[in-house]
Amino acid sequence: MPLSGNDTTFLSPFRHFTSQAWGELRKDTPLPLSEAELEELRGFGERISLDEVSEIFLPLSRLLNLYVGETQELYRVTSDFLGREQDKVPYIVGVAGSVASGKSTTARILRTLLARWPNHPKVDLITTDGFLYPTRVLEERGLMQRKGFPESFDIKRLLRFLSDVKAGSRNVEAPVYSHFTYDILPGETITVDQPDILIVEGLNVLQPWKPAEGDEPQPFVSDFFDFSIYLDADEEAIRRWFIERFISLRRTSFKDPAAYFHRYSKLTENEAIETADSIWTSINLANLHKNILPTRQRADLILRKGDDHRIRDVFLRKI
């Protein structure tokens, strides 16, 4: 069962900070982000402000800068020890959480802030949506109502991608997903070429490997992460955010006849709310309970949101 906002018993391996206390850790670090830039980074319906970026994400970027710096130093001394230059290996940050929790906005803001530190200017971002099976395959396998569940992803391709990136390979390609067409874009890819940092955002990225009987042990997605973040909030709040986003999309992008969800644009307000609630309960809430929420305690950092979508608490894993 999900934990209430006051139940932090599961967080015993973590240090707790209020948003204000966490914000003080940014020290004198300047905010290298303008309101116009933040507007470009906000997800649809997100209400994040520059104050929240300064309070939450600036200290986080400072902490990750320190972690990356230590990793770069380890790379240098290892190269010295071996007597030869090693392949450049990126620092990988995973971002997990429910649908409508704000993962995408978090990942984009973090990417922008991290890229403005001088010792790691090359920061790439990929979402695991690109590794969903195409709609045609999902339909053939009867998985359209389980889209976003682990079985709807081409895990072998995702693992191969992460393995190549972590091995320091050049020009590793990832497929691209469109929320407008609700499908993989044929022939389109994102190329990751030895970045300093790679951010991997997705629903189930913190899951451990679950072997079937007789399977040999193997690395899984979360094994490639150097640091991981989980976006958390009460279920009822996330449900409301999902419905609000659905209603807003019904009035905007759903109106385009080429949109996959165009049929929903013709619903009345009440019908749209009922439809969104049904989708949330049957697919997203089920996935949250079974696959996403159980991975929360595996994160290095948990960002806990209040009902207003603002991050109120930060939990950092003890070292």
Would you kindly state where each structural domain of the chain is located, as residue ranges?
A: 13-317
- Integer Cα distance of 262 and 257 in angstroms: 6
What pLDDT is stored for residue 4 in this prediction? Answer: 40
pLDDT 10s digits, 19-76? 999 999 998 888 999 999 999 898 766 789 999 999 999 999 999 999 999 999 999 8
pLDDT 10s digits, 226-273? 999 999 999 999 999 999 999 999 989 899 999 999 999 999 999 999
- Integer Cα distance of 319 and 214 in angstroms: 35
SS3 12: coil
pLDDT 10s digits, 191-208? 999 999 999 999 999 998
Residues 6+ apart with CB under 8 A from 77: none
pLDDT 10s digits, 300-311? 999 999 999 999
| Mean per-residue pLDDT over the chain, rounded | 92
pLDDT band of residue 209 (cuts 50, 70, 90) is confident
Q: What is the mean pLDDT of residues 101-127?
A: 96
What pLDDT is stored for residue 1 in this prediction? Answer: 34
Q: What is the mean pLDDT of residues 284-296?
A: 96
Q: Which CATH superfamily is domain 13-317 in?
A: P-loop containing nucleotide triphosphate hydrolases (3.40.50.300)
Beta strands in the chain (DSSP E): 14-18, 91-97, 123-127, 172-178, 183-192, 197-201, 227-232, 301-305, 311-317
Q: Which of 80, 87, 85, 32 is nearest to 54 (CA)?
A: 32
What pLDDT is stored for residue 6 in this prediction? Answer: 46
What pLDDT is stored for residue 45 in this prediction? Answer: 67
Q: Which of 180, 149, 138, 145 is nearest to 279 (CA)?
A: 145
pLDDT band of residue 123 (cuts 50, 70, 90) is very high
Alpha helix (H) ranges present in 154-308?
A: 155-166, 235-251, 269-279, 286-287
Please provide the size of the chain in residues. Answer: 319
pLDDT band of residue 10 (cuts 50, 70, 90) is low
pLDDT 10s digits, 140-195? 999 999 999 999 999 999 999 999 999 999 999 999 999 999 999 999 999 999 99
pLDDT band of residue 128 (cuts 50, 70, 90) is very high
